Homo-oligomer: A and B are copies of this chain.
Amino acid sequence: MSESLYFKKHVFFCMNERDDGRSCCAHRGAQAAQEHAKRRIKQLDQNGAGKIRINKAGCLDRCDDGPVLVVYPQGTWYTYVDQSDIDEIIEVDLIGGGVVERLKV
């Protein structure tokens, strides 16, 4: 199947913002992380059809594990704290095809 995938790796960042006091990815750095990932993938010339796509998404419904992102088609879920975590996910998973075990949720 993989040769027919439109994007080799399709990444969705949960960007959900709650205003009821419950935790949400938006309040845990999701926007900065998504923008960093998008910029970095572009710098690496890895964005576009047949390569990698970094997307925003609405609530991914894993608030307790947030902030979260999911990488398809593998369905690997990660949390992250800062940009160095995002860089590691990019290097090891998106580019390298591996898994960053310590960030998996």
User: Which residues of A does B touch, CB under 8 Å?
Assistant: 1, 4-7, 10, 12, 48-49, 53, 55-62, 70, 72-75, 77
Q: Are B12 and A75 in contact (CB under 8 A)?
A: no
> Can you name 10 extra interface pairs (CB under 8 A) apart from A6-B70, A6-B75?
A4-B75, A5-B75, A6-B77, A10-B70, A12-B12, A53-B61, A55-B57, A57-B58, A72-B72, A72-B75
Integer count of this chain's copies in the complex: 2
Task: Give the complex CA separation of A74 and B74 in angstroms.
Answer: 9
Partner of A60, one of B4, B5, B48, B53: B53
Task: Give the complex CA separation of A92 and B60 in angstroms.
Answer: 23
- By a CB distance below 8 angstroms, the chain B residues around A7 are 75
